[in-house]
């Protein structure tokens, strides 16, 4: 494995190959490992600089674990996380440190992720101090610039998180992520806690950052409409696996996997839903006991015999150039 | 307008809370009716007063810090706000029931589903132990819970979120209440489970003929579930009317802004999502005139001087709007 110096990569910014994150389940008297939860199971995708991959799926599908594993906030059980050509999965915590600057995380609940005892100014300055970015005086200017980018007035510098609304707090969370000028931001449900009228303001801000600053996003959300608005590519996860991956335009206009189709049909629509929509039966099975074969087969309206014993792999539909891949025996 | 007579008649409801910053009016002079066969949405963003209005219908607002500062809530001819506190337990559950967003906090973790359901039935309908258990199983079957007899012996933690919410619906409907208040009943559920529970909700509303008030922030859920919608902003109603008409032709600039800014799955993604500028004003510092004036694209000088009253738009359209310059 050749390790390239930072910035020398010529391929995609992020190239994830065969990534697995398993959690041991302990039980019994001796607290032995009795089972493994395959939270992320053989996931591969690439992400180019300045583009966004939206990850959708229901609770427990592994999308958040995938995001955290990519950032090495959780250890990978197997697979490669090639960030600008370097496999992060193989680095020690010390070797990882310089890479941390280039990757940031934005959380769902900005209130829980901001220290209540620090002013906004202190919160934004902390990553600059930690990574030794700029001189002490230039850091003050940098903080003011960050506030401006996310649409907050410099007057808020000396305020504490509790003095802000949810939308403003999320802007602070985004500003903190931007402080180190990252190449990649993993945003985990960044607008789910916000009210509708504020949600769209923050989504527009994220779109603007993609375009103006060339930041790549791994955007994780359960909300298909939100994901459509920010994503170039979309990945749909079910029980730890990617079941569909492709350009957002294609996945939304011609979803191929029956799960993606059902997910899209289930979204309550302001204009009302078609009367003939198919409702999925049952619920997501426990990741502790995933069904054999295709994990979706027990709920699938188009299940076939092969689905019960053979797990489908991702393959190209609409030809190899379209980049639209589906893990389903129908194709 | 619905033909059935109103089951619920709310008049000039005003609820205040004592806070460190002084008295805050969470619900300000709210009036509406709900007929026996209706599903009505109370819709708005956080802090608009929809949840406090919903809680008031069972007189569940904690006093103090809350206080019913005025108005009346007539349920089947009786004013809940005028009743002595001792009379309330007999009404809650029997005449009006409530479902909450997170069923795990509403169910008692140390009792089985069957025990909790039977308690309600024995209390309100005077059923014997065995009859109550049989009725509980029948209600679980009515909300499409497979294997209801066995589920009765389950504890709440043994059920999935969607199943727990079905149990709550079964429990709430088991005493055949005249009115069911559901506060964000599907918000904590996944989208495919939400679709199942909402379909169940619609079917049961038809079957049991219970009037339903659905408190929600989700306009998609409103469109699919409710016959009529009441839009709230800063403690007051800004617009109300049949859902289809309201969504086809929103007249209040806030309703319109809300509908436009909802992220929705579209044929083509927009370069920029429409937004409502600014933010909801602090409840302690509300503007003197229309409370939406600072965010409104159609604001006029009179909007800052006086509050527009909620008035029918006329011309035979069953919509009311609180706006001097509606669309």
pLDDT digit string, tens, across residues B21-47: 888 999 999 999 999 889 999 999 888
Instruction: State yes or no: pLDDT of B2 exceeds 50.
Output: no
Domains of chain B by start residue, with CATH? 6-95+177-321 (3.40.50.300), 106-176 (no CATH)
User: Is B324's pLDDT higher than 90?
Assistant: yes
User: Nearest Cβ partner of A280 from B46, B192, B218?
Assistant: B192
pLDDT of B62 strictly over 80? yes
Residue numbers in A near B261 (CB within 8 A): 196-197, 199-200
Q: Which among A198, A252, A267 is the nearest to B279, CB-wise?
A: A198
Q: Which residues of B touch A263 (CB under 8 A)?
A: 191-192
What tokens were used for A226? 């939100």
In percent, how much of chain B has pLDDT > 70?
Answer: 99
CA–CA gap between residue A114 and residue A169 (Å, rounded): 8
Taking the C-alpha atoms of residue B199 and residue A268, their distance in angstroms, rounded to an integer, is: 11
Token look-up 């509708």 returns A196
* Regions of chain A short of the pLDDT cut 70: 1-10, 110, 274-276
pLDDT of residue B3: 58
DSSP for B264-318, written as a single string: ---SS--SS-----S-PPPTTS--SS-TTGGG-TT--HHHHHSPPPPEE--TT--
Q: Find tokens 């509606």 and name the residue.
A: B326
Residue B42: C-alpha distances to residues A88, B236, B256 (Å): 49, 11, 16
8 Å CB contact of A268 and B220: yes
Which of B190, B259, B269 lies nearest to residue A270, judging by beta carbons?
A: B259
- Under a CB-based contact definition with an 8 Å cutoff, are residues B36 and B178 in contact? yes
Structure tokens of A224?
């298909």
Q: Are B240 and B233 spatial neighbours (Cβ–Cβ below 8 Å)?
A: no
Collect all residues of chain A within an 8 Å Cβ-Cβ radius of residue B219. Answer: 196, 270
Please give the residue of chain A at the shortest CA–CA distance from B194. A266
Q: Is B166 helix (H, G, I), strand (E, B) or coil?
A: helix
Q: Which two tokens stand for residue B292?
A: 């939406």
The Cα-based distances of B39 to A17, A268, B128, B131, B187 in angstroms read: 50, 16, 32, 30, 17
Cα–Cα distance measured from residue B164 to residue B169, given in angstroms and rounded to the nearest whole number: 9
In sequence order, the β-bridge partners of residue A221 are: A56
- CB-CB contact of B229 with B41 (8 Å): yes
- Tens digits of residue pLDDT in A134-143: 888 888 888 9
The per-residue pLDDT for A4 is: 43
Q: Given this model, what pLDDT does residue A275 score?
A: 67
**Whole-angstrom Cα distance, residue A320 to residue A309?**
27
- Give the gap in angstroms from C-alpha B225 to the nearest C-alpha of chain A: 9
CA distance A4 to chain B (A): 36
Which is more confident, A60 or B256?
B256
How many Å apart are CA A304 and CA B287, to the nearest integer?
62
ipTM: 0.81
Three-state DSSP state, B99: strand
Of the candidates B194, B221, B263, which has its C-beta nearest A225's C-beta? B263
**What pLDDT shows up at residue B318?**
93
Distance CA A33, CA B204 (A): 45
Smallest CA–CA distance, residue A40 to chain B, in Å, is 19
The answer to whether the beta carbons of residues B42 and B54 sit under 8 Å apart is yes
Tell me what percent of the residues of chain B surpass a pLDDT of 90: 55
Separation in Å, CA of B194 to nearest CA in chain A: 8
Q: Between chains, do A266 and B194 touch, taking CB under 8 Å as contact?
A: yes
Q: Is A148 helix (H, G, I), strand (E, B) or coil?
A: helix
Asked if pLDDT for residue B185 goes beyond 70, the answer is yes
Three-state DSSP state, A98: helix
> Measured between beta carbons, which residues in chain B are less than 8 angstroms from residue A222?
190-191
- B149 DSSP 8-state letter: H
Interface test with A, best of B50, B144, B191, B253 (most A CBs within 10 A): B191
pLDDT (average), residues B265-274 = 83
Q: How far apart are alpha carbons B68 and A298 in whole angstroms?
A: 51
B231 vs A contacts (CB less than 8 Å): none
| pLDDT score for A320 | 82
3-class DSSP state of B202: helix
DSSP character at residue A162: G
B223 vs A contacts (CB less than 8 Å): 268-272
Handedness of CA A137, A141, A146, A147 (dihedral sign): positive
Q: Is it the case that residue B245 has pLDDT exceeding 80?
A: yes
Contact B197, B162 (CB under 8 A): yes
* pLDDT value of position A108: 81
Distance, CA of A96 to chain centre:
20
The mean pLDDT value for B128-134 works out to: 92
Strand order in the sheet with B39-43: B96-99, B179-183, B211-216, B39-43, B228-233, B236-242, B320-321, B311-312
User: Between the ranges A212-216, A326-330, B124-128, B195-199, where is the mean pLDDT highest?
Assistant: A326-330
Residue B90 Cα, gap to closest chain A Cα (Å): 36
Three-state DSSP class for A129? helix
């Amino acid at each position: 494995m050749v390790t390239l110096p930072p910035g020398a990569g010529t391929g995609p910014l992020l190239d994830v190959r065969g990534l697995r994150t398993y959690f041991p389940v302990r039980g019994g008297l001796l607290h032995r490992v009795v089972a493994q939860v395959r939270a992320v199971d053989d996931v591969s995708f690439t992400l180019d600089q300045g583009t966004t991959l939206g990850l959708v799926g229901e609770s427990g599908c592994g999308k958040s674990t995938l995001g955290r594993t990519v950032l090495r906030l959780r250890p990978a059980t197997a697979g490669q996380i090639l960030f600008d050509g370097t496999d992060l999965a193989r680095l020690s915590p010390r070797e990882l440190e310089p890479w941390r600057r280039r990757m940031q995380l934005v959380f769902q609940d900005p209130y829980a992720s901001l220290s209540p005892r620090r002013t906004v100014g202190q919160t934004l300055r902390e990553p600059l101090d930690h990574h030794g970015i700029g001189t002490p005086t230039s850091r003050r200017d940098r903080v003011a610039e960050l506030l401006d980018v996310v649409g907050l007035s410099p007057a808020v510098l000396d305020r504490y998180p509790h003095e802000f609304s949810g939308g403003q707090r999320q802007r602070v969370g985004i500003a903190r992520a931007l402080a180190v000028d990252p190449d990649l931001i993993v945003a985990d449900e960044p607008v789910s806690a916000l009210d509708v009228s504020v949600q769209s303001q923050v989504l527009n801000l994220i779109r603007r950052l993609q375009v103006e600053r060339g930041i790549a996003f791994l955007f994780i959300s359960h909300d298909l409409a939100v994901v459509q608005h920010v994503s170039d590519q979309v990945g749909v996860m079910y029980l730890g696996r990617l079941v569909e991956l492709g350009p957002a335009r294609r996945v939304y206009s011609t979803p191929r996997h029956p799960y993606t189709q059902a997910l899209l049909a289930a979204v309550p629509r302001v204009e009302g839903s078609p009367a003939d929509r198919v409702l999925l039966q049952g619920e997501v099975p426990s990741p502790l006991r995933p069904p054999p074969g295709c994990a979706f087969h027990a709920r699938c309206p188009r299940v076939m015999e092969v689905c019960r014993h053979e797990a489908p792999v991702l393959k190209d539909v609409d030809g190899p150039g379209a980049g639209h891949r589906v893990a389903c025996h129908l194709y | 307008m619905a033909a059935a007579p109103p089951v619920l008649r709310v008049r000039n409801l005003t609820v205040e809370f004592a806070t460190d910053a002084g008295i805050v009016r969470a619900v300000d002079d709210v009036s509406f009716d709900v007929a026996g066969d209706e599903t009505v949405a109370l819709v708005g963003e956080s802090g608009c007063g929809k949840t406090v209005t919903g809680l008031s219908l069972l007189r569940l607002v904690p006093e103090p810090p809350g206080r019913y500062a005025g108005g009346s809530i007539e349920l089947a001819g009786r004013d809940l706000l005028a009743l002595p506190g001792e009379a309330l337990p007999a009404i809650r559950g029997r005449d009006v029931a409530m479902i909450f967003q997170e069923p795990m906090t509403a169910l008692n973790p140390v009792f089985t589903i069957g025990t909790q359901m039977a308690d309600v039935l024995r209390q309100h309908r005077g059923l014997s132990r065995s009859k109550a258990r049989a009725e509980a199983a029948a209600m679980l079957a009515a909300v499409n819970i497979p294997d209801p007899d066995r589920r009765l012996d389950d504890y709440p933690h043994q059920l999935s979120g969607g199943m727990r919410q079905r149990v709550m619906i079964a429990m709430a409907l088991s005493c055949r209440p005249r009115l069911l208040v559901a506060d964000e009943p599907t918000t904590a559920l996944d989208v495919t489970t939400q679709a199942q529970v909402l379909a169940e909700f619609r079917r049961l509303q038809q079957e049991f003929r219970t009037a339903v008030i659905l408190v929600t922030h989700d306009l998609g859920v409103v469109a699919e579930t409710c016959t009529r919608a009441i839009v709230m902003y800063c403690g007051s109603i800004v617009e109300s009317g049949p859902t289809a008409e309201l969504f086809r032709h929103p007249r209040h600039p806030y309703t319109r802004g809300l509908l436009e800014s909802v992220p929705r799955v579209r044929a083509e993604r927009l370069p920029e999502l429409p937004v409502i500028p600014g933010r909801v004003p602090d409840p302690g510092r509300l503007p003197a005139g229309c409370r939406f004036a600072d965010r409104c694209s159609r604001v006029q000088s009179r909007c800052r001087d006086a509050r527009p009253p909620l008035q029918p738009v006329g011309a035979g359209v069953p919509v009311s709007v609180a706006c001097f310059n509606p669309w």
